[in-house]
A and B are shown apart, each in its own frame.
Chain A
């Protein structure tokens, strides 16, 4: 049994069985990560290139650790300080890296769809580590995996995604993933940050953050992506925090205890206050911990049969 796809470009391309398989495999890797020897020799014959055309701390570190703990060799590439600034094209850059006998590519790119474009031009397996405002599949997988750890089967569970839905690849991948697992999804935030017709993806819109919190079992709070907002979409950060931010007193006023998540990096005091982010309802650091196991599972499951003569 392997995944139904050769690359992990987006959650859109996966089916429910794929996601369940990734979770089952991640359970095992999570166990490996708790042992004194936190690695396995499974991919010692594999080389993975992490190609990051956009900034990242968590995702890149998490991928690198996942690869190393699978026994793979790792090369890292970031666009700043590379020949990209001299005008090299994406395909040339990647083909040059592959010419050095690399088996798998993990890529983050600011252009939506870049990994799909690459998949049509190269043979190696590609894992999308975030493309523009489109998808961030491993984040959605680790989010759903962390929710599953807290709530069990996600079928019928209520998930609210709060904040900058418009610019968030985490939001889109989360919506696809949670839909496939049978959860109910509500998106919430200021109208200027929620795309028109998002209901077509099978989610409901609730502009009142308090109401969304009252409804949900889990609140996944997203970062305000100022770097992608080329025109002002709300007046001030203070106003945003006041009307759309999540804080501890709000959480305490709810009838039930909900789970609070954030994919990071956090703008403390904007979309979420420090007392909420650091409260015992928050599983933000569990998300980070699970990220390594999920990425190990994805890389392992994608590195199946290889043509020896290739």
Chain B
């Protein structure tokens, strides 16, 4: 099993969710996050006081999937989240040791 974690632009969330649903992904977890990468922040100015805002708002998705789904899922996120401009985000893939569905107690691939 794999855990895919993707940082994307907030306005791309709906497109990514639709793309993932279309290939049969059963569930995702979404967190609002802030961070920086190659994309530069911006400057804010309040009555002459200038603040450089380095951390930009992004959305982080976490998706638990079976090994077979991996390539398809990564490709779906990549395609849906891409604008071609700097700041589109990154996708991280981890090995996932165990999954438990709390309601039924199912474990492993059955619980994904």
Is B one of A's binding partners? no
